[in-house]
Amino acid sequence: MNSGIASVISLVVVLSSSLMLVGPATATELSLNLPSTEVNISVSNGTVSYFDILLSDVPSGYDIVNGTYVGWCVDRRRDMVRSPTIHNVTLYSSYDPPSLLMSERWDVLNYILNHKQGTGEDVQQAIWYFINLVGNYTASSPTALSIISDAIANGAGFVPKVGEVEAVICYTTETDAQISVIEVTIPLSDTEPPVSMLIIGEPNSTQDGNRFVSAQTPFWINVTDGGSGVAGTWLRINYTHSGLNIALTLLDWARYPDSHPPFYLARLTNLPGSADCNYTIEFYSRDLVGNTETVQIAFVTLVGPDIDDSGLIDFHDLSIVIASYNSFLGKPRWNVLGDLNFDQRVDLRDIVAVLRNFGRRPQHVFVTPEVFFG
Ligand SMILES: [Ca+2]
Ligand SMILES: [Ca+2]
Ligand SMILES: [Ca+2]
């Protein structure tokens, strides 16, 4: 066996081609994370709502923090002593209320909070129509009646989405306090990193698990993210020569443009399409809340007239084409590396492709992202 062929084959054997794919992101988690221990509230008359409710003593690490929240009354049995009196309350999601309040129309109340009309007084009247803990309540304001009829028509089964508000129940048994609710915006919960996929365009071919491309083969990276969205994608491209134990970083963790342009490995050589090189493409993406994908790796071989990757296009390269001359895909003498124009047969055109570059010295070049993606 010709030494040129032997070195090519040894290269092919040690390379493997793989595209690691990660499963789709899981559904966004919507439930609020609330402390189970009691917290303190002090209540003032609201400006845009019935109450302004100041929370304090809230432990850290929850979707609720110390501060003032928009509050509403759901309890007409008694009055609430205002600030600076402190009341102890236990917080409940209105979708997981204490058993005493289980039968109340929390779905409708949440619909109203997300579809307000009129003033705070109008909204409060509409809320009392559905939840007041003491019996029937008749709203007097025309706008409240409009909210009520809208809520009756559309509120059943309502569940707020990310960015909408959910009523959190401030539950208390104190005799100088009312059961109230505060509005809490449902935060975006995104714990899944983006999923990036390397797309290899035409022409390309696969032999023995290895992926071969030409100077004309475009690459793209497609990215999806369930949740916050993609902040960016980065990639690194190394040239590797296993036989000579060479690994050069030709493009070093460059930011892949948001326009997702095609890129071509031939831009990493001084004679585009003339070298026959093995490349490692590493890539990953990050989302807007910082979840970072595990680096994915793809191995590809750029097919060109310097078939044995010796740095010189010479008789050794020609002999590889001649050894598979007049063969085509599926035949015993077929060698994908001899098919320099990717027409799935080795013929005179491939010999001409070597001769046209005979004596030239393809070299790998370091590029800026602007040049590479330009
Ligand atoms: Ca994400
Ligand atoms: Ca060569
Ligand atoms: Ca050919």
Evaluated on CA atoms 23, 29, 35, 36, the torsion sign reads negative
Ligand located closest to 29 CA: 1
Distance of alpha carbon 105 from alpha carbon 131, whole angstroms: 7
Ligand located closest to 318 CA: 2
Residue ending a domain, among 154, 185, 216, is 185
Which residues partner with 287 through β-bridges? 230
Ligand located closest to 339 CA: 3
Ligand located closest to 324 CA: 3
Same domain membership, residue 308 and residue 217: yes
- Cα-trace Rg, the chain: 34
**Which helix (H) or strand (E) segment is 36 a member of?**
none
Same domain membership, residue 369 and residue 277: yes
- Residues 306-362 have pLDDT tens digits of 988 888 999 999 999 999 999 988 888 988 889 988 888 999 999 999 999 899 998
Ligand located closest to 313 CA: 2
pLDDT at 365 over 60: yes
Q: Is residue 33 part of a domain?
A: no
Token representation of residue 209: 């698990």
Residue ending a domain, among 185, 202, 222, is 185
Instruction: Report the percent of the chain where pLDDT is more than 90.
Output: 68
Q: Is residue 165 part of a domain?
A: yes
Interval between CA 208 and ligand 3 midpoint (Å): 19
Ligand located closest to 361 CA: 2
Interval between CA 343 and ligand 3 midpoint (Å): 5
Collect all residues with Cβ–Cβ distance below 8 Å to 5 and sequence separation of at least 6: 308, 319, 320, 323, 335
Distance of alpha carbon 115 from alpha carbon 93, whole angstroms: 19
Interval between CA 360 and ligand 2 midpoint (Å): 9
- Residues 154-188 have pLDDT tens digits of 999 999 988 899 999 999 999 999 999 999 999 88
pLDDT of residue 16: 33
Ligand located closest to 25 CA: 1
Interval between CA 87 and ligand 3 midpoint (Å): 83
Q: Is residue 280 part of a domain?
A: yes
Distance of alpha carbon 127 from alpha carbon 106, whole angstroms: 10
pLDDT of residue 269: 85
Task: Convert 45-56 to b/e letters by CB count within 10 Å (16 or more is b).
Answer: ebeebbbbbbbe
All residues with CB under 5 Å from ion ligand 1: 190, 192, 225, 227, 287, 291
**Which helix (H) or strand (E) segment is 349 a member of?**
helix 348-355
Total number of domains constituting the chain: 2
All residues with CB under 5 Å from ion ligand 3: 339, 341, 343, 350
Q: Is residue 32 part of a domain?
A: no
Interval between CA 218 and ligand 2 midpoint (Å): 24
131 lies in which domain range?
39-185
